[in-house]
Amino acid sequence: MIKVVQIVAVLFALFAFSRAFLRWKDKEVSLGEFLFWSVTWIILILLSLFPEYTFLLSARIGIQRGVDIFVYGGITLLFYLVFRMYVRFEKMEQALTKVVRGLAKRK
């Protein structure tokens, strides 16, 4: 029997997937980023519809509860995304510094 939380998770994942698709279509994200998010949302849909697989996976890797995989995976994903944002920010800051130095030398 499908539960309300499963329906909400699937609807959210479909909405997020549509946002990723529109960003890719508008060339705001690269194909690699689009594929990453597509796989993420598809996995969420599948695990929401078939939660018994989380228990099998958690048992294989030594985690007691299936939902803990989401928690650990989510935290890991957040750290990775923060790292990527930090690297991008540093590159933008260095590029901005170059531009400002170039403008300062012209005066």
Predicted pLDDT of residue 69: 83
**What is the rounded CA–CA span in Å between residue 72 and residue 78?**
10
Tokens at residue 9, please? 């998770």
**What is the rounded CA–CA span in Å between residue 31 and residue 12?**
22
Cβ(54)–Cβ(70) below 8 Å: yes
Predicted pLDDT of residue 59: 86
Q: Where are the domains of the chain?
A: 1-50, 66-107
Predicted pLDDT of residue 58: 87
Per residue in 35-91, pLDDT (tens digit) is 999 999 999 899 889 888 888 888 888 888 888 888 888 899 899 999 999 999 999
Cβ(13)–Cβ(44) below 8 Å: yes
Predicted pLDDT of residue 88: 94
The pTM (predicted TM-score) of the whole model is 0.69
